[in-house]
Structure 1
Amino acid sequence: MVDSDDEVTTPLEAVPEDRRRRLRPVALMTVIAVAFLAVGLLAGHFLRSPAQRQADTAPPPVTPLTDTVANSVVAESVPLGASLERGTRTDVTLDGASGEDAERSVVSGVRVKEGQRVSGGAVLLEISGRPVILLPGAMPAYRTLNPGDTGPDVTQLQDALRSMKYLSDRETGFGPDTQDAVSRLYRRLGYTLTTVGADEVKEARAAVSSAQQDVTSRTDEVETARIALARAQRPGSEPAASSSASAGPDTSRADGIADARRALRSAQRSLAQADQALTQASSTLAAARSKAGVVLPRSEVTYVPSVPATVTALSTAIGKDATGTALTLVSGALVATSEALDPTSATGIRVGQTAEIVTDDGTRHPAAVTSVTTTAASSDDQQNQSGSDKQVTVVVAPGSPVSGDEGTQVRVVVHTASSRTPVLNVPVSAVATGPQGDTVVTVVKNGTRRFVPVVTGLTGDGRVQITGDVAEGDTVLIGDAAQTSPTPSPR
């Protein structure tokens, strides 16, 4: 039994022979129909009319590319490749100066190494046992500072000591407070101080002591003369022996009083002279003291505009003579220093021009050109593309700190000129040469085009200033572009 819900399949062998003969023509016709259908499809794919072929090979239709006339500030700019570097380089130059006891000026110690960051108050080198101390300041040391000295270099030293908490307030000149601050700095670093004027003070003190003794002696003489005069003037006193004693008692007494008065006046004059000598000796002592004290030798300090500073080059070693450049420091905020430029590439760039520093993340930092330096081309490239043997380096300082490390590559855009106020401008590609050889833009309106003569001005950021019979918002042709069309079918 077979379930009525089950599908029944009849084997081909079970089909009667007469029925199979009737099915053969139907199958043959089906195969022929499928074959004709396939041939038709292939023919439709490969066989095309000339019109169809021309349509397939014709260029795509052209559509105009346009932009609008803008009214904005146009700035001419020069793009530069640059890298971030510290703003100020300072060469530490040795001139052979050393301590008074040194017989030869040599480098006796090197306290830093290349790449090291050094803070204010640190010792960079030792010259014949004496330190070379790093301090913050824009002005190089140009003289040895002695007690009582005044000037901008003294003020700079005081500011440096204040920044390092050695000095609380400024004072007038290189006085006791400043000297004490220097003393504490040297004690912390482990070096003895250089002083001056001790012998002069000692001599002046001795002179004052001698003058004081003379004043005391002269004062005693005056007092003795006063007593003698008082006795001579006392009634009934015996006159002192004199050349006029034989003239009588009254005459002898008068002469004695006169002699006592002369002696008193002489003693008083001697006392006045002694007082004057004491005053002079005291003034000399005060002057000696004002000039005595701590000395800051010029050779023992070097200044950089800001600290910490980085040692970028070290060209000395222990045992070398203390002459020439010993090391190079860089300090200050990061600035962008351009690659060496061909002079023609730097045309128009001047100190004070506005600029932008563009970092890898696209951040644009407002900046200004602070230095444009022309030097001889390096030995590796004696002549640049323009044939010049010179090269130009541009330094651009940001208005606010730029995040990054020294050596980071950045892009700098220097604005060499600006319209300052909004002007009509179009893309540079919109400006062309007209039929009459003049400069034109093509204004597109309502599907029609017309040439409009213009005068061009500043160019910047791909746009150019124009003046002519155009208005803000006008549509101008900047080129024609082919519309995308289906790719022709393969033949």
Structure 2
Amino acid sequence: MSAPATAPPGGPPAVPDEPPPTRAGGRHWPRRLAGVAGILVLAATGLVGYRYVDREPTEPRPVAATLPTRPVTRSDLVSSVQVTGRLGFAGTYELVGQAAGTVTWVPRPGDVVGRGQRILGVDLRPIPLLYGPVPLYRPLAPGSSGADVRQLERNLVALGHADPAELTVDTSYTEATARAVRRWQHDLGVDETGTVAPGDVLTAPGAVRVGEVDPLIGQRLQPGSPVVTGTGTGHSVRLDLRLSYRPLVRVGQAVRVQLPTGGTVDGTVTTLGSTVQTSSSQAQPGGTAAQSGGQPTGCQGNSCPQTVPVEVRIDGPESRLGGVFEGTVTVVFPAQTRRGVLSVPIEALTVGADGAYAVVLVAPDGSRRTVPVETGMFTSGRVEVSGAGIAEGDAVEVPTL
């Protein structure tokens, strides 16, 4: 038994402790249930009230998608023809020597020999390279005349051995020519005779990138022997152009050349063949020297299109090629030009209910209207458009941008 509770002095009478309520089995109810029971009683008597509000989840209202726009522009449109070709070094040279003697020096494959530089050595005598289309086929001395004399004088002036004010470049070998030759021979370290013999030089249209050297050092050389084969230092593309495209191409025409790297360089058509040939399904062998035509050729079964050969010179420095000097490239020939026309991205075109083309114009305030248009040239992702309701600077929707 517990002792009866006593009130503290001056306080309220003590309430004897009561055991907490129990449920069957002697287990005690939690004290907080007493409070819950009280709330239930108050609710039953109407002293406590509540309201249930049914709130649905709030979702954002859909907003109309804003499509990208692009302006209507006025410019020149150019359609084109693309032809695959083979990039390589321009020109193929095979130089034939006219000197007799023992070979004492040869260049290495890959060397580039320019005007006035040694390209062969015979009996310890340097054989320099001169530029020009005419090989030195005869001795030249005062009194000689001809195209080979003009060629020699041009080289002497270019090398700085003759003053143009002193030496007139023409077809006559004069004393002024002889003086310039002696100055040139002095710089070469050979006998200063003032005359030039056929075996004294080799000629080529320009600088030569050495490919192969035929004679070995120590080999006995005879006049008329091939000595060096190589190419020019520039680059060109050779291709087989379909005969039906020939009216679109002309010598001197500017073109674009697409490189394997993805870049492009400028080019100029230098030769346009007049001999029709039938394309083969395979390029001709020969590597850089042969400059085989591009693939594919468009053959269908045993039927191959007729073509003409075309060569395109690469313009600009070699560095623009990005280190790609040989390989398959694409030449883009402009075929038709439309000057000062309105155009939009091709993706801007829609088809109206009547099946005609239209575009959607977007005003500065965001309003939209569909305008029918007439289409013209399609090229480079754009299309020529015209119509009463469209003008330069208008904004058109382009759904797929």
TM-score scaled to structure 2, two decimals? 0.59
C-alpha contact (below 8 Å) 1:112/1:124 kept by paired residues:
yes
The answer to whether structure 1 residue 465 and structure 2 residue 389 are counterparts is no
What is residue 395 of structure 1 aligned with on the other side? 312
What is residue 330 of structure 1 aligned with on the other side? 232
Cα 1:405/1:140, change in 2 over 3 Å: farther
Cα 1:313/1:480, change in 2 over 3 Å: closer
The answer to whether structure 1 residue 352 and structure 2 residue 252 are counterparts is yes
Cα 1:67/1:158, change in 2 over 3 Å: same
C-alpha contact (below 8 Å) 1:93/1:324 kept by paired residues:
yes
What is residue 111 of structure 1 aligned with on the other side? 106
Once the two structures are TM-superposed, the CA of residue 416 in structure 1 deviates from its matched residue by 0.4
The structure showing larger relative contact order (alpha-carbon pairs under 8 Å, at least 6 residues apart) is 1
C-alpha contact (below 8 Å) 1:441/1:477 kept by paired residues:
no
What is residue 226 of structure 1 aligned with on the other side? none
What is residue 372 of structure 2 aligned with on the other side? 452
What is residue 162 of structure 2 aligned with on the other side? 167
Once the two structures are TM-superposed, the CA of residue 367 in structure 1 deviates from its matched residue by 5.5
Distance 1:165 1:190 in 2: 16
The answer to whether structure 1 residue 148 and structure 2 residue 143 are counterparts is yes
Distance 1:379 1:452 in 2: 55
Any idea what SS the aligned residue of 2:296 has?
A: coil
Partner amino acid, structure 2, of 1:140: V
C-alpha deviations, 1:319-370, integer Å up to 9, x for none? 4775457321424xx55x4486785998845433334578999998766444
Distance 1:26 1:69 in 2: 77
Once the two structures are TM-superposed, the CA of residue 133 in structure 1 deviates from its matched residue by 2.5
C-alpha contact (below 8 Å) 1:84/1:404 kept by paired residues:
no
Any idea what SS the aligned residue of 1:416 has?
A: strand
Distance 1:445 1:115 in 2: 61
Once the two structures are TM-superposed, the CA of residue 179 in structure 1 deviates from its matched residue by 2.6
List gaps (5 residues or longer) in structure 2. 1-18, 21-26, 36-55, 287-291
Partner amino acid, structure 2, of 1:303: T
| Percentage identity across paired residues of the two chains | 24
Any idea what SS the aligned residue of 1:134 has?
A: strand
The aligned runs of 1:132-281 (5 Å cut-off) are 132-135=127-130, 137-141=131-135, 143-144=137-138, 145-168=140-163, 169-171=166-168, 173-186=172-185, 188-189=187-188, 191=190
The answer to whether structure 1 residue 67 and structure 2 residue 40 are counterparts is no
Any idea what SS the aligned residue of 1:384 has?
A: coil
C-alpha deviations, 1:46-102, integer Å up to 9, x for none? xxx9x99xx99xx9965544433211122234678999876x5351332x7445xx7
Any idea what SS the aligned residue of 2:339 has?
A: coil
Distance 2:73 2:230 in 1: 51
C-alpha deviations, 1:264-296, integer Å up to 9, x for none? xxxxxxxxxxxxxxxxxxxxxxxxxxxxx7243
Cα 1:127/1:370, change in 2 over 3 Å: same
Once the two structures are TM-superposed, the CA of residue 134 in structure 1 deviates from its matched residue by 0.1
Distance 2:103 2:331 in 1: 47
Distance 1:23 1:330 in 2: 108
Once the two structures are TM-superposed, the CA of residue 310 in structure 1 deviates from its matched residue by 4.5
More off after superposition, 351-360 vs 421-430:
351-360
The answer to whether structure 1 residue 428 and structure 2 residue 346 are counterparts is yes
The answer to whether structure 1 residue 384 and structure 2 residue 308 are counterparts is no
Cα 1:109/1:437, change in 2 over 3 Å: farther
Any idea what SS the aligned residue of 2:232 has?
A: strand
Any idea what SS the aligned residue of 2:374 has?
A: strand
Cα RMSD (Å) of the superposition?
5.2
What is residue 201 of structure 2 aligned with on the other side? 301
Rg larger in structure:
1
Structure with a larger share of its residues in helix? 1
Distance 1:391 1:60 in 2: 60
Cα 1:394/1:474, change in 2 over 3 Å: farther
Distance 2:261 2:29 in 1: 78
What is residue 115 of structure 2 aligned with on the other side? 120
Distance 1:354 1:122 in 2: 33
C-alpha contact (below 8 Å) 2:93/2:204 kept by paired residues:
no
What is residue 204 of structure 1 aligned with on the other side? none
C-alpha contact (below 8 Å) 1:342/1:385 kept by paired residues:
no
Once the two structures are TM-superposed, the CA of residue 113 in structure 1 deviates from its matched residue by 0.9
Question: Which of 339, 349, 360 is residue 443 of structure 1 equivalent to?
Answer: 360
C-alpha contact (below 8 Å) 1:73/1:420 kept by paired residues:
yes
More off after superposition, 322-331 vs 374-383:
374-383
C-alpha contact (below 8 Å) 1:443/1:474 kept by paired residues:
no
Partner amino acid, structure 2, of 1:157: L
Once the two structures are TM-superposed, the CA of residue 108 in structure 1 deviates from its matched residue by 3.1
The count of aligned residue pairs is 322
The answer to whether structure 1 residue 317 and structure 2 residue 215 are counterparts is yes
The aligned runs of 1:355-366 (5 Å cut-off) are 355=255
List gaps (5 residues or longer) in structure 1. 1-17, 30-48, 196-292, 482-491
Distance 1:384 1:81 in 2: 7
C-alpha contact (below 8 Å) 1:441/1:476 kept by paired residues:
no
Distance 1:344 1:432 in 2: 37
Partner amino acid, structure 1, of 2:77: V
Partner amino acid, structure 1, of 2:296: N
Any idea what SS the aligned residue of 1:160 has?
A: helix
Cα 1:407/1:160, change in 2 over 3 Å: same
Cα 1:450/1:303, change in 2 over 3 Å: same
C-alpha contact (below 8 Å) 1:342/1:384 kept by paired residues:
no
Cα 1:445/1:120, change in 2 over 3 Å: closer
What is residue 91 of structure 2 aligned with on the other side? 89
